[in-house]
Amino acid sequence: MACPYFEPQAIAPAAQRTNARLPLIQEHQGLCRAGEQPVEARPAMRFRYCNQGYSRGACQDFPSGETRSALRYDLVGRTEAELKVMIVEEQNYAPAEWRAVTYSIRSEGLDPEVQEPCVRAQVVAFCRSYLRCFCT
């Protein structure tokens, strides 16, 4: 369940090893968009909070009034051309809202398009990691 303010940019080159499934399948480095300007996610926070969410109270950058705790992604369908992904927004460890998007493997487009930069980047990172880890 990645932080709602984390915009993954690339797979982390020095990823921490874990037996647990990461929300984006692989650990990513990227931007924190919690402040007025995006900044590089701090390496000390990246694995535990940016990639795994539930940052409230632990990350100094997490907005105090934010109700979302984390974003979760689940693969709910797959064809040779597309992945269907459920985006689940969690609040206090419980699903609060959800929506489905379809990821085109060829174009990397989403249908419907996701406007929020962090959510869009997380869906694409999840799908790329899924294809890299489970379909090669």
Residue indicated by tokens 């249908």: 111
Q: Which pLDDT tens digit goes with each residue over 57-115?
A: 899 999 988 888 899 999 999 999 999 999 999 988 899 999 999 999 999 999 999 99
pTM for the complete prediction? Answer: 0.93
d(CA 6, CA 38): 9
Is the pLDDT at 1 greater than 80? The verdict is no
Q: What are the extents of the domains in the chain?
A: 6-134
